[in-house]
Amino acid sequence: MQINNLEAILEDEGIVFLTYGGLLTQSLISGMTDALEKESKVNEMSMKVSHNLLTIFIELSQNMMNYSKNSSLQDSGLNSKGLIIVGYDKSNDSYFILSRNILDAKDKEKIIPKIEQVLPLNNDELKTLYRELRRSGRGKHEKGAGLGFVEVARRCDKIEYSFSKINDSCYYYIFKAIINNS
């Protein structure tokens, strides 16, 4: 049974609280956020860990929702292949949020410097950058101003990301945020 294979894969990653593949909508995101909030209570997560997890989940899933509206992707017929997994990794007592979606080359080039900008920064530097980006003028609110990645970086302990090529214009974009439990 292939479903068993899928479960085995998920078990290898640890305990999976939530996995979703497909097109994201705001109501789905809020339903999943609700479910994660309940799961965090069942698992007796500290409020700090659980709110970091929820905030990163919201940030990554809303990002995916926005990128899936990209018109060049909609033309390619690939746009619905979003995947988001939230789980717990027993081996190092940490939670993770993994997202995978398809980006065109242009969005890929936009995203890389934003992630690379936050990776080397410590907490104080992230806070300074966050405040700088946030004060960038009233009403200026273009999507993807970069505040989201700083928010994610402030709330997790490690970020991993990669791209793999699907064809000349599209890439799988995989992003993983890891939150240490203790």
Q: Which one among 17, 20, 45, 52 touches another protein, defined by CB under 8 A?
A: 52
Spatial separation of the C-alpha atoms in residues 130 and 144, rounded to whole Å: 13
- Amino acid making up residue 110: K
Please say which residue, 110 or 134, places its beta carbon nearer to another protein.
Answer: 134
Distances (CA, A) of 1 to 5, 7, 12, 74: 7, 10, 17, 33
Min CB(121)–another protein separation in Å:
16
Question: Phi/psi class of residue 5: alpha, beta or left (left: φ > 0; alpha: ψ in -120 to 50)?
Answer: alpha
Q: Does 68 bind another protein (CB under 8 A)?
A: no
Q: Which of residues 119-158 bind another protein (CB under 8 A)?
A: 127, 130-131, 134-135, 138-139, 141, 145, 147-148, 150-151, 155
Binding mask 10-49 for another protein (x = CB under 8 A): ----------------x--xxx-xx-----------xxx-
Spatial separation of the C-alpha atoms in residues 16 and 13, rounded to whole Å: 8
Please say which residue, 51 or 158, places its beta carbon nearer to another protein.
Answer: 51
**Chain centroid offset of residue 172 CA:** 13
Residue 59's CB is within 10 A of a number of other CB atoms, namely 19
Residues at the site binding another protein, with contacts judged by CB under 8 A: 26, 29-31, 33-34, 46-48, 51-52, 54-55, 58-59, 62, 65, 127, 130-131, 134-135, 138-139, 141, 145, 147-148, 150-151, 155
